[in-house]
Amino acid sequence: MIDDFRKIKSFFEEGQRVSLFRNYMNDENQYETSVIACDNEKVFLSLIHDSDGDVLPIEDGGVVGLLLINKSGIWGAEVPVLGVFEGTENDGILVSLPEVLNKVQRREYVRLDFAFPLEFQIIYRNAVFKKFKLKCYNMSANGIAVMTVSNIEISEKYEYKVVFEYKGIKVDNHVKPIYIHEVNLENSAPFYVMGCKFLDLSMGNTDKIYAMINAELVKARKKGVM
């Protein structure tokens, strides 16, 4: 547990990626956001869009869970929502700076960046309707986020699959799109990130993905880059 506010604040540097849960640790869906700004009392996060491109409903005055990874481990906290701003000069989600960060052991929430190619399929009436050659953005043992230069149509009439082989892990599985948001980086063309939940991933592949992520974490910590 960490309760020193200076140390807690240091975790929320501008650009830090954060996973958000609307029902902390009981929400099966985690949503990716990032820190826009932070002071001694508040953290301002980027807006989150759902798979339809709409702003994810977050209750002003409610409580959300935050999860982040740094070189000392995986940390989580529950924080009150101070405001959600849309259609303003400064859009985003304003939350309180956590008073306490707790170390998280639940392996399914550990999410790391990977950049391997994959095939994303849209399935209609049990047949592949469209295929896209995309790239992984990040992955956890229960979901994957993919990069795309265009907004992929999300509809209940379709099913979706990801197909890839990476470091001995072969995946050909249905996924459920959870969120999509636009990313704008300096010296780079804008792109979209779509987060998906694995629906029928085998326990064997779940264990392999977690083992790969854990190995990458150990490697990064030894290098002092996480």
Q: Please state whether beta strands 143-148 and 112-113 pair in parallel, antiparallel, or not at all (unpaired).
A: unpaired
Bigger pLDDT: 139 or 29?
Answer: 139
**159-209, pLDDT tens digit by residue?**
999 999 998 899 999 999 888 877 777 777 888 888 898 998 888 888 888
Tell me the mean pLDDT in the region 198-224: 77
Q: What is the pTM of this model?
A: 0.57
In the chain, what are the helix, strand and coil shares in percent, each to the nearest 5? 15, 50, 40
Task: Give the number of other CB atoms < 10 A from CB of residue 114.
Answer: 20
Say what the pLDDT of residue 135 is.
94
Q: Which residues of 13-45 are buried (b: 16+ CB within 10 A; e: fewer)?
A: eeebebbbbbebeeeebbbbbebbebeeeebbb
Q: Of 126, 166, 124, nearest to 146 (Cα)?
A: 166
Q: What kind and span of H or E run contains 179? A: strand 169-183
Distance of alpha carbon 122 from the chain centroid: 21
Tell me the mean pLDDT in the region 136-165: 89
Bigger pLDDT: 137 or 153?
Answer: 137
Q: Of 180, 49, 188, 46, nearest to 120 (Cα)?
A: 180
Model confidence at 223, pLDDT cuts 50, 70, 90, reads: low
Say what the pLDDT of residue 211 is.
80
Res 224 pLDDT > 60: no
Q: For residue 13, what are the contacts with CB-CB under 8 A and spacing of at least 6? A: 35, 38
State the average pLDDT for the chain: 83
Domains assigned to the chain: 5-105 (2.30.110.10), 112-223 (2.40.10.220)
**68-105, pLDDT tens digit by residue?**
877 677 788 888 899 888 877 788 999 999 988 887 76
The tokens describing 199, both together, are: 């629906």
Helix and strand numbers (H, E) in the chain are 2, 14
Partners of 75 in the β-ladder: 68, 103
Partners of 198 in the β-ladder: 175
What is the identity of the amino acid at 50? D
Q: Where is average pLDDT lowest: 17-21, 29-33, 137-141, 222-226?
A: 222-226
**2-43, pLDDT tens digit by residue?**
888 888 899 899 988 888 887 644 455 678 888 999 998 999
